[in-house]
Amino acid sequence: MTRPTPPAAEPDSRIDAQLWWLCGVLVLGAVTTLLDGTIVNVAIDALTQEFGSTLDTIQWTVTGYLLALSIVVPLSGWAMERFGAKRMWLAAQALFLVGSVLSGAAWSVESLIVFRVIQGLGGGMVMPMAQAMLARAAGPSRLGRVMAVVSVPAMLAPIIGPVIGGAFVDGLNWRWIFFVNIPIGLSAIALAWVKLPAGRPAREARLDVLGLLLLSPGLALLLYGAAESGSKGFTGSGSLPYTVAGVLLLAGFAVHALRTSRTPLIDLRLLADRGYSAAVLTQFTLNAAVFGAMFLLPLYFQLERGDTVLQAGLMLAPQGVGYVIAMALVGKATDRMKPGLLALAGVFIALLGTLPFALIDENSNQAVLAAAMVARGIGVGVVTLPSLAAAYRSLAPAAMPRASSAMNIFQRLGGSVGTAVVAVVLQNAITDGKASGTPLAESFSLSFWWVFAFTALTLLPVLFLPRTVPAARPAPDGQASQPAAQKTANA
């Protein structure tokens, strides 16, 4: 008697031990590089006193790190293909660790700025490489849950960084905000040496030299202009020439990238994919809102509320709690629900959590503000996870390194733009307020309205995220499923 043929087994969407190890090692390595983007902010005053420097000079310990990140990110995709993901990830992590040791031992403000740049050159490649390796290993059926894990350090860093920085500055000294990276970095390197798959470098991969000469200086000049605008205004003589030069170089890169017959440093043709381009723009505007708020919040708690550095850092914790809640609720849902609808709900939650800060005054209730920060964390998390997953689902595996590199560039640009804008708004508002006797809280209220505006702008690209439930495509020969190369259908 002939038995009926059993139905074909669905691709296994469980996260196995090997993938969990990969997630853990890569996240551990990313933690320190992402924390260093914010941990120094709370130590600015201590550094100013230590080196007898001015605020305009000391701020380059933060801006120099950010500029280094933006310069090196475009190289990460090519470096992974040319030398192999594991080899380059270990090299980047080691360079970041060297920069951390040197920064902690700095003897002058000039040496600290140089060593922070070294940190950024190493740290800038860690996160995009991690995202690309995880996207390749997970496949579409597990991508949402994996991105939930890898997004933890990215979104919690602005929250945890000020707390750790405040604790070290108040309890020990500023050097420990760099030395804390040593044990974590060494552990990540040791585990990665054993657990990361070796991979096969593509020896034929060639560096897009012209693209590098246009893109990296263009990004650096644009971010430099944005940083200078914080003290001299957007049209000031110190910022406008750099901003214009940066825009022109980036425009030149765009023309080159679209016309070259070779694979460019950043493949702008990826933006022709509706899901990917919508996710990139979503991350740009969302990061403008997130990092703009993270610039304002510590200042508000210290200047308006009179909190210490550590107290101000702790006041940011409710937003981290909200993000953890979002990960718990949305991680699996991202693999089963329409990412566009999830992200849309997240934007409205984030707007709701931002509104109390835009309406802030000297009598604002602290409990209400804490609840609002929880809502902001939930909203940001609900937008982030499905948009990152949607970005990579419709791309071929070979496109992952350059796709993650471009995504990281737009994320950092968004954060830089948001920070620069709110810095200018707050500075001008405080100056005008002193002349007119306006309460300081009103200056912060005006600045938070800009954060609200950036959050609202996120609605536009979110409307173009995929509105279909992701489906896994089985790989041949029983191998793990891979992202589909075809474009995801959109409503």
CA 61 to each of CA 58, 239, 306, 310: distance values in angstroms, whole numbers, following the listed order = 6, 18, 25, 20
Q: Which residues contact 179 (CB under 8 A, 6 or more apart)?
A: 100, 101, 104
Query: Is the pTM higher than 0.85?
Result: no
A 10 A CB-CB count for 139 gives: 25
Q: What is the pLDDT along the chain (491 residues), one digit of tens a residue?
A: 445 544 444 455 666 666 777 777 787 877 888 777 777 777 777 787 788 876 556 767 777 787 777 778 777 777 777 777 778 888 888 999 999 999 999 988 889 989 998 998 888 888 777 777 777 766 666 666 666 666 666 666 666 777 888 888 888 888 988 998 888 889 888 887 877 776 666 566 677 788 888 887 887 788 777 666 655 555 555 677 888 898 999 999 989 988 877 777 777 888 878 888 888 899 999 988 988 888 788 778 877 887 777 887 788 778 878 887 887 777 666 666 677 788 888 999 999 999 989 888 777 788 888 899 999 989 988 888 888 877 777 777 777 767 777 887 788 778 777 877 777 777 778 777 777 777 788 888 888 999 999 999 999 998 888 766 555 444 434 333 443 333 333 33
In DSSP notation, 395-415 reads: S-GGGHHHHHHHHHHHHHHHH
Angle between helices 317-336 and 339-358 (to 10 degrees): 160
Q: Which residues contact 268 (CB under 8 A, 6 or more apart)?
A: 254, 257, 258, 406
Residue pair 97/189 in contact (Cβ under 8 Å)? The answer is yes
Residue pair 455/291 in contact (Cβ under 8 Å)? The answer is no
Residue pair 343/383 in contact (Cβ under 8 Å)? The answer is yes
